[in-house]
């Protein structure tokens, strides 16, 4: 089940969880198991999303986060998500692919936006940077869908994430899976799973700018 093209930007607030519910119900009726490329930001955010979506998809977790700094923090998060995938039980197979760690690409994107508060334009461009790489890889490797775990965070703009995903779906010709994973107690469940698996839970988004804001609190 794939959406028709031309979704485009939404001018009104959309219930993305309702859209996802409808889509998943359709997939269940078809009895198919599509391949999903899931961009992951960290293990805690991925935990619930993997538990939820592995019933419907064969998932490849794509870890592409050049925004994370320092490299020690990046490596720690990679190790945690690898460990989580190895420990959790899934309905359908879950595999892992690590993207290139290229912080300079993030800094080039953020140039001129260094003083923008968290949650603003710099973050929106960071969404696009990571989602664009995900959509590109999904197209190259023939995935049926792509999406990101980012919408599970109460601090992330789900509407902007989905609008960006829809734009990229038009460019790369791979459907974007709509999501607002914080809904249906998704964020709460991610906290529970993080405790069950003793996951490292970072206290800043990942970039030097979010770390700076954290340190000022």
CB proximity list for 18: less than 8 A, separation 6 or greater: none
What pLDDT was estimated at residue 212?
Answer: 83
Is 171 a domain residue?
Answer: yes
Q: Write the CATH number for 95.
A: 3.40.50.620
Is 82 a domain residue?
Answer: yes
Q: Do you find a cis peptide bond into 70, omega within 30 degrees of 0?
A: yes
If pLDDT is split at 50, 70 and 90, which confidence band does 7 have?
very low
Note every long-range contact of 113-120, with CB atoms under 8 Å and residues 24 or more positions apart, other chains counting.
Answer: 114/209, 117/213, 118/155, 118/205, 118/209, 118/210, 118/213, 119/155, 119/157
Is 19 a domain residue?
Answer: no
Cβ–Cβ under 8 Å, residues 151 and 182 = yes
Mean pLDDT, residues 193-208: 91
Pick from 60, 61, 59, 57: which is nearest to 27 by CA?
Answer: 57
Backbone angles phi, psi at 209, to 5 degrees: -75, -40
Is 84 a domain residue?
Answer: yes
CB proximity list for 22: less than 8 A, separation 6 or greater: none
Cβ–Cβ under 8 Å, residues 62 and 141 = no
In tens, the pLDDT along 62-110 reads 999 999 999 999 999 999 999 999 999 999 999 999 999 999 999 999 9
Cβ–Cβ under 8 Å, residues 81 and 61 = yes
Is 119 a domain residue?
Answer: yes
If pLDDT is split at 50, 70 and 90, which confidence band does 6 have?
very low
Element (H, E) at 215: helix 208-216
Burial 81-99 (b: 16+ CB within 10 A, else e): beebbeebeeeeebebeee
Least confident of 34-43, 109-118, 166-175: 109-118
**Rg of the chain on CA atoms, in Å:** 16
What pLDDT was estimated at residue 10?
Answer: 52
Number of domains, the chain: 1
If pLDDT is split at 50, 70 and 90, which confidence band does 15 have?
very high
Q: Is the pLDDT of residue 8 over 70?
A: no
Q: Is the pLDDT of residue 29 over 60?
A: yes
Is 80 a domain residue?
Answer: yes
Element (H, E) at 213: helix 208-216
Burial 25-35 (b: 16+ CB within 10 A, else e): eebeeeeebbb
CB proximity list for 187: less than 8 A, separation 6 or greater: 48, 152, 153, 154, 181
Q: Is the pLDDT of residue 121 over 50?
A: yes
Mean pLDDT, residues 31-56: 97
Is 207 a domain residue?
Answer: yes
Is 25 a domain residue?
Answer: no
Task: Supply the range of the domain harboring residue 95.
Answer: 33-216
Q: For residues 204 and 213, give the distance between their C-alpha atoms in angstroms, rounded to a whole number.
A: 9
């Amino acid at each position: 089940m794939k959406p028709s093209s031309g979704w485009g930007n939404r001018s009104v607030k959309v219930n993305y969880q309702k859209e996802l519910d409808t889509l998943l119900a359709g997939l269940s009726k078809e009895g198919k198991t599509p391949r999903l490329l899931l961009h992951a930001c960290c293990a805690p955010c991925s935990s619930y999303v993997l538990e939820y979506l592995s019933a419907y998809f064969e998932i490849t977790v794509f870890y592409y986060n050049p925004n994370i700094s320092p490299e020690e923090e990046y490596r720690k998060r990679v190790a945690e998500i690898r460990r989580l995938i190895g420990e959790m039980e899934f309905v359908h197979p879950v595999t892992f692919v690590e993207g290139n760690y290229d912080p300079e690409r993030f800094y080039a994107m953020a140039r001129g936006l260094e003083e923008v508060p968290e949650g603003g334009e710099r973050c929106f461009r960071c969404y696009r940077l990571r989602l664009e790489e995900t959509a590109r890889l999904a197209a190259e490797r023939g995935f049926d869908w792509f999406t990101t775990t980012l919408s599970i965070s109460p601090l992330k703009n789900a509407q902007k994430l989905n609008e960006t995903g829809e734009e990229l779906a038009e460019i790369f010709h791979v459907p974007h899976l709509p999501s607002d994973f914080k809904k249906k107690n998704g964020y709460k469940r991610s906290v529970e799973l993080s405790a069950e698996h003793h996951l490292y839970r970072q206290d800043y988004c990942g970039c030097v700018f979010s770390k700076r804001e954290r340190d000022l609190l």
